Each structure stands twice: as C-alpha cells, then as structure tokens.
Structure 1
Amino acid sequence: MRIIAGEWRGRRVAAPDGDTTRPTADRTRETLFSMLVSRIGSFEGLSVADLFAGSGALGLEALSRGAAQALFVEQDAAAVRTLRANIAAFDAQAKCDVRAASVMGLGPAKSQPDIVFMDPPYGTGAGPVALDKLNRLGWIASSTWVSIETAKGEDVAVKGFTIEATRDSGKARLHLLRPAAD
C-alpha cells in the first residue's frame, strides 16, 4: 500500500501480518478521497477519525493531504503495533492520537472530527451500529462527513443520516453519509 497524494505521496504504508485486518486497497482509497475532495475541496486543517483503523492508511492519507490531526481507533494488538510503526515512519506522532480500544468502547466526544472514516470487518454491520452510538455520544457534528466501507453488495442505513453517495470499488462499497437535516 502507498499514500496516494499529498506530502507523503508514494510512501509505503505497512499492513499488519495475518488476515485479521483487511487494508483498504489503494484504488479504493483513491476513489474514496476523490469522492470527498469533490465535496469538501481541501483537507487543509481538518480533523479526522480513522475508526477500525487497521494500518491507519485512511488517516495517514488525510494527514498527507493537509489534515491537522487524526484520531486512530483499533482494537487488534498486531494492527495497533503496525499503526504506531506507520505513524513513526511518517514522523507524524504530534498530529496523531492512537487509541488501542474498540470503537464501541469510546465514550462521549470532547470534539467532533470533520471526517469520520469507518472500515469495519465486512459483513458484520458494525459500521452502522458504531455510527449510531457515536452520534448519540456527540461525535458527529452537523457538518461531519462519514465514510463507511462495506463489502460490495452491502447496504448501510443509519437513523438520522442521509447517504450522499455510494460507489463500488473492487470488492468494496463506499458510502458517504451526512447527518440528516432536522
């Protein structure tokens, strides 16, 4: 895997060993960031949350493109070790908050990220369940963009959210959501 664009373009991102973690393919990540850039413009100064982070490729891609800070949440110990190593390799520790925990274990938010990336295990329905909980805990602002990656063919529905776009990319389906207007 490589960073697609920005300051770290072309640099490698290590993936955890084994099959516990399924990194987002470069082409799928490129599709996702294209979808976001066409809607938000620049990542400059934004805060992002990379949930079910694995290697951290989504959050690192956002930082490479100018995001100011990234929260990474991952519970698999091997993935957390790889994530921390990737952050160190990019010398990005000052911009990163790594939490070795379950996304479902997060408490109330202290602030809301501009973009939330969610790449849960396929076929589990964990993304919509986690988003619903995080919304109730104050993690989602009215301006927050949420990306949920699922397997191709999986649909996403979360009360209080509108699906702005859906794209298939390889084996993945990307869903961009926004809080529904009241």
Structure 2
Amino acid sequence: MSKRPGGAPRAAQRPHGGQGQLRIIGGEWRSRRFAFPDGPGLRPTPDRVRETLFNWLAAYVPGARVLDPFAGSGALFLEALSRGASAGLALDTNAEAAAALRGHLGTLQCDSGQVLLTDALRYLEGQPPAPFDLVFLDPPFHQDLLQNACSLLEERGWLAKDAWVYTESEAAPSSLGLPANWRLHREKKAGAVNYALWQREEP
C-alpha cells in the first residue's frame, strides 16, 4: 500500500449541496477527518458501530481484499484500508460521493483502493477479478438491495472460501434469508439499524 505516513495534507473541502463529516477511527490514518456530500439513502455507519465491527474483525483486516458495493461516504472502506487491507474496490451510483472518495484516497496517497461509479447489482452480475476476503453491505434501506447483492456475491464467485460479510439492515439478521452457507457470527442493533457479521462456509 503506497501512502505517505502522517504528513499528507487534509482533504480539500469541495462545495456541494450538503456536507457530512467522517472520522477514521484506527490504523495508519487514525483521527483523519473528511467531508462527504449528502445524498439520498446515504447513511454513514456511526463511529461506535464501526469501532465494534472492526474490533470483531481485528485479526482479519490486515492483508484482506475488501469490497464495498454501496460505498456512500466511504467510511467503512477507508477504515479497512487504514487498518491494513491490501486492496479495496468501492462502488457507488452517486457521482459526487464517488468523486469525494477518490479525492480522499488521493489525499492519503493510497493507490491500493479503487472507486467505480456504477450500479452495484449490475456490476456484481459480472465476474470478479479475484475473490474478496471482506465485504461491506450497507445499502439504502427499503429497496430490496441487500438480499439480491448477497445472492450475487455467492453465486458469481465474488467471495473467498471463508470470507467475512458485514450487513446493515432494517430487518433482524435472522429474517434476511441470506445464503444458507453464511454463518451468523455476531449481531447487534443501534437504533433502527440491525448490523451483523457473517462468515461464509463452503457449500
């Protein structure tokens, strides 16, 4: 991972219609703050939830290939790269959000993360360049995106043999109907959001 430690300049604050802030919690870029544009369905994972998730994943992030199909603010994606993920691919349909996330990677001088402006489900219908070890699924709610994304990940070969998958949903994890060979590892609830970590097992 090619990044300049410590001395990279702060992210430029680009004008856009509405602005949020995210903070990287741990790893090489700990405490760095970035702006991201507001957008429909964009719901950044709260700091406390991210901290819990990455405590669960502490032993598995270093060296992992990471996929974030509904990247939004990029909070989970940047957190994973900061904590030593070897490569990452982020997808989003929001042009401003994708451009902002590319800008953050540029500011951090990180060349191990790629951001594509594309529809996640359409992209997942294709074949992956290589399987991913860790996937973050935090799609907009009430659009039937989560179950469809999970099915494509499993059916199209996007996942490593023992990959970890993180989900955020409006429904309880037990009612999601995800692939039968995904084992629910941990789950919690924060307000109206159910979040869970799954581990894939070979069918």
Q: TM-score, normalised by structure 2?
A: 0.80
In the alignment, does 2:89 pair up with 1:71? yes
Alignment length (residue pairs):
178
Q: Supply the distance in 2 between the matched residues of 1:171 and 1:15 (Cα, whole angstroms).
A: 23
Quote the residue 2:141 is aligned against. 122
Question: Relative to structure 1, is the Cα distance of residues 47 and 56 closer, same or farther in structure 2, using a 3 angstrom cutoff?
Answer: same
Aligned residue for 1:34, secondary structure, equals: helix
In the alignment, does 2:107 pair up with 1:89? yes
> After superposition, where does 1:29-178 map in structure 2 within 5 Å?
29-37=50-58, 41-92=59-110, 94-106=111-123, 107-151=126-170, 153=172, 155-160=175-180, 161-178=182-199
Q: Supply the distance in 2 between the matched residues of 1:126 and 1:20 (Cα, whole angstroms).
A: 12
1:75 CA displacement: 1.0
Q: Supply the distance in 1 between the matched residues of 2:64 and 2:146 (Cα, whole angstroms).
A: 22
- Structure 1, unmatched stretches of 5+, are none
The structure carrying a bigger strand percent of its residues is 2
Amino acid at match of 2:176: V
1:111 CA displacement: 0.5
Quote the residue 2:13 is aligned against. none
Aligned residue for 1:71, secondary structure, equals: strand
Question: Relative to structure 1, is the Cα distance of residues 43 and 153 closer, same or farther in structure 2, using a 3 angstrom cutoff?
Answer: closer
Aligned residue for 1:13, secondary structure, equals: strand
Q: Supply the distance in 2 between the matched residues of 1:5 and 1:79 (Cα, whole angstroms).
A: 22
Question: Relative to structure 1, is the Cα distance of residues 91 and 137 closer, same or farther in structure 2, using a 3 angstrom cutoff?
Answer: same
1:71 CA displacement: 0.5
Instruction: Report the structure number with the largest CA radius of gyration.
Output: 2
The structure carrying a bigger helix percent of its residues is 1
Aligned residue for 1:28, secondary structure, equals: helix
What is the identity percentage for the equivalent residue pairs of Structure 1 and Structure 2?
A: 37
User: Is the contact made by 1:44 and 1:66 (CA closer than 8 Å) also made in structure 2?
Assistant: yes
Q: Supply the distance in 2 between the matched residues of 1:32 and 1:123 (Cα, whole angstroms).
A: 23
Q: Supply the distance in 2 between the matched residues of 1:174 and 1:32 (Cα, whole angstroms).
A: 9
- Structure 2, unmatched stretches of 5+, are 1-21
User: Is the contact made by 2:150 and 2:179 (CA closer than 8 Å) also made in structure 1?
Assistant: no
User: Is the contact made by 2:162 and 2:200 (CA closer than 8 Å) also made in structure 1?
Assistant: yes
Aligned Cα RMSD in Å? 1.8
User: CA deviation digits over 1:13-47, x for unaligned, max 9?
Assistant: 3222344411111111111111222xxx1522211
User: CA deviation digits over 1:69-94, x for unaligned, max 9?
Assistant: 110011111211221122222221x1
